[in-house]
Amino acid sequence: MSDYNNPANIEVGQGYAGETGETYAGRFAIFDSPVMGMRALIRDLSTKIDRHGGDVRKIISQFAPDFENPTNNYVAYVEQVVQKPVVTKDKEDVMSLASAIVQFENGIDSPRVQQYLMPNVKEEAYNLSQQSLPKETRYEDIKTK
């Protein structure tokens, strides 16, 4: 199974730390580790939470436009998982939103979901997401022991 370490199909060129410069499907970034892929998702969601006042429907509509995924199905799934229509940037909300997106994007039974949602991966990704890192930063340079 090839793995791109991109749990939510983040598009290339956004300048997230951990991007390898390679792509898949012509437009999605390949990250150097699951942690850095999750970090990118968390940072992306934090920006979208601010931009849309935490409105889950608006966040998902921007994150995965209707032409890519049926927005109503995506929103319904995410709202069911996070159990509210509006989220904040507190850790619990962000991690719940990120987890729901990873599950929807990869399929809940996918081995990749477990890889990204392991507690140590999520925790490290969240902690790293609280730091601004230069785009050339690689996981090997910063990983915690």
Q: Given this model, what pLDDT does residue 13 score?
A: 87
Q: Considering its fold, how many domains does the chain have in total?
A: 1
For residue 20, is it within any domain? no
For residue 106, is it within any domain? yes
For residue 110, is it within any domain? yes
**Tens digits of per-residue pLDDT, 78-93?**
999 999 999 999 999 9
Question: Could you tell me if 54 and 76 are in contact, meaning their C-beta atoms sit under 8 angstroms apart?
Answer: no
Taking 80 as the threshold, does the pLDDT of residue 145 lie above it?
no
Q: Which residue has the higher pLDDT, 13 or 103?
A: 103
Task: Tell me which residue of 137, 111, 109 sits closest to 43, measured CA to CA.
Answer: 137
Q: Given this model, what pLDDT does residue 50 score?
A: 96
Q: Domain containing 63: what range?
A: 34-131
CA–CA separation, 121 and 48 (whole Å): 22
For residue 72, is it within any domain? yes
Taking 60 as the threshold, does the pLDDT of residue 53 lie above it?
yes
Q: Given this model, what pLDDT does residue 47 score?
A: 95
For residue 29, is it within any domain? no
What is the rounded average pLDDT for all residues in the chain?
91
For residue 92, is it within any domain? yes
What pTM value is reported for the model? Answer: 0.93
Q: Given this model, what pLDDT does residue 2 score?
A: 53
Q: How many angstroms from the chain centroid is the CA of residue 116?
A: 9
Taking 70 as the threshold, does the pLDDT of residue 144 lie above it?
no
For residue 143, is it within any domain? no
For residue 39, is it within any domain? yes
